[in-house]
Homo-oligomer: A and B are copies of this chain.
Amino acid sequence: MSEDQRFGPDRRVTLPGPLALDGGATLSPVEIGYETYGTLNAAKSNAIFITHALTGDQHIASPHPMTGKPGWWARMVGPGKPIDTDRFFVICSNVIGSCMGSSGPGSLAPDGAPFAMRFPVITIRDMVRAQALLLDHLGIDTLHAVVGGSMGGMQALSWAATFPDRVQAALVIASTARHSAQNIAFHEVGRQAIMADPNWRGGQYYADGVSPAAGLAVARMAAHITYLSESGLTEKFGRRLQAREAKTFGFDADFQVESYLRHQGLSFSDRFDANSYLYITRAMDYFDLAEEHGGMLANAFRGSKTRFCLVSFDTDWLYPTSESRNVVHALNASGAPASFVELSAPFGHDSFLLDVPALDRVVSGFLCPEC
């Protein structure tokens, strides 16, 4: 098999459902956009499900179809890489609520018009339930592992709590078992920025293609700051000026950090649907795994045979180490096998996406202890 053939094309499947959602609605049919890498073995025992973050997608290790950029975890997933596609069959599906092929606010409702804000509000657990439907479709009963960072880590935790018999191992990176008040606050700023954009029009902007790009860009800018560490920003940009010798005494992007943020905002709104941003941030804010289990996080994992590994980063102030430790304490209380490491990396929350060799070693070691 040539290297190219290891990587699948952009795949979509329409499953009949119905998918019963936490909010009481049902989704039917359920569209799922997904990608696979590597080969499923005859015993169907080598599947790893990778769950993506808020603005991620299924294009882990193959070029993004809109931007042409390499997959978001190409450094981690591939032949001979820490998640080794010579050994594992790797699956990633776009979360429902998103905009890269799975059912979301931009999908067509039964009446033939886009759902827009008629799309039901979904939860992290709903995303996982849709992924389980995909697994059924692929004929895979049990996952060797589920792996995710950030919102992907929430899904990994939810997978283990919701389908404990289908998950042999869960690797949860830079994540949390519940959104804090500060997490919710930052997301609410983003939602208000989108909804304040007159082009949002209550979410009804699909017909003419004039989307609330400016509001979405502001939302992205605010969120992006939370993905980076203060020291990382200082090291990367400091107070350096952008392609000029002196301050202009105006409102152009004098500072490199301003220029960088503006670019982040604009390029994001080119590739992402504003309504999806509303729905997915809402799902994250609603996430509280303890609440789903009688207020006791340990109950989520009681009797579980899943192996867990939690990884945090010392400069992550979005989901700081204390949040991972909170999960580990619950796992210990529930008797589940759990390992935990706080890694030192300068990049803040985004460390899980970046060049952190220590993370590579933790990932490969956890997924394949015998390798």
A residues sitting closer than 8 Å to B (CB atoms) are 22-24, 117, 120-121, 178-182, 184-186, 188-189, 191-193, 195-198, 214-215, 217-218, 221-222, 225, 228, 230, 233-234, 236-239, 247, 249-251, 253, 255, 257-258, 261-262, 265, 278, 282, 285-286, 288, 291, 317
Known: A22-B249, A192-B218. 15 other contacts (CB 8 A): A121-B249, A180-B230, A181-B230, A181-B234, A181-B257, A184-B258, A185-B258, A185-B261, A188-B255, A188-B257, A189-B218, A192-B261, A193-B193, A196-B197, A255-B285
The one of B178, B179, B239 that contacts A181, using a Cβ cutoff of 8 Å = B239
A318 to B215, CA, bound (A): 24
User: In the assembled complex, which residues on chain B have CB atoms less than 8 Å from the CB atom of A262?
Assistant: 188, 192
A250-B288 contact, Cβ under 8 Å, with A218-B193, A233-B180? no
A181 x B238 contact (CB < 8 A): yes
Question: Of A121, A181, A193, A239, which is in contact with the most chain B CB atoms at under 10 Å from its CB?
Answer: A181
Closest 3 CB pairs of A and B: A23-B249, A196-B214, A181-B233
A257-B184 contact, Cβ under 8 Å, with A192-B218, A218-B193? yes
A-B contact pairs, 8 of them (CB 8 A): A121-B249, A180-B239, A181-B233, A182-B225, A185-B233, A188-B253, A189-B261, A222-B222
A184 x B239 contact (CB < 8 A): yes
A188 x B120 contact (CB < 8 A): no
A192 x B265 contact (CB < 8 A): yes
A182 x B217 contact (CB < 8 A): no
A192 x B217 contact (CB < 8 A): yes
A251 x B239 contact (CB < 8 A): no
Question: Of A121, A186, A222, A257, which is in contact with the most chain B CB atoms at under 10 Å from its CB?
Answer: A222
User: In the assembled complex, which residues on chain B have CB atoms less than 8 Å from the CB atom of A185?
Assistant: 221, 225, 233, 257-258, 261
CB distance from A80 to the nearest CB of B (A): 37
User: In the assembled complex, which residues on chain B have CB atoms less than 8 Å from the CB atom of A195?
Assistant: 251
Question: Of A22, A185, A197, which is in contact with the most chain B CB atoms at under 10 Å from its CB?
Answer: A185
A259 to B342, CA, bound (A): 34
A239 x B178 contact (CB < 8 A): yes
User: In the assembled complex, which residues on chain B have CB atoms less than 8 Å from the CB atom of A247?
Assistant: 286
A291 to B246, CA, bound (A): 11
B249 x A24 contact (CB < 8 A): yes
A198 to B197, CA, bound (A): 8
CB distance from A361 to the nearest CB of B (A): 30
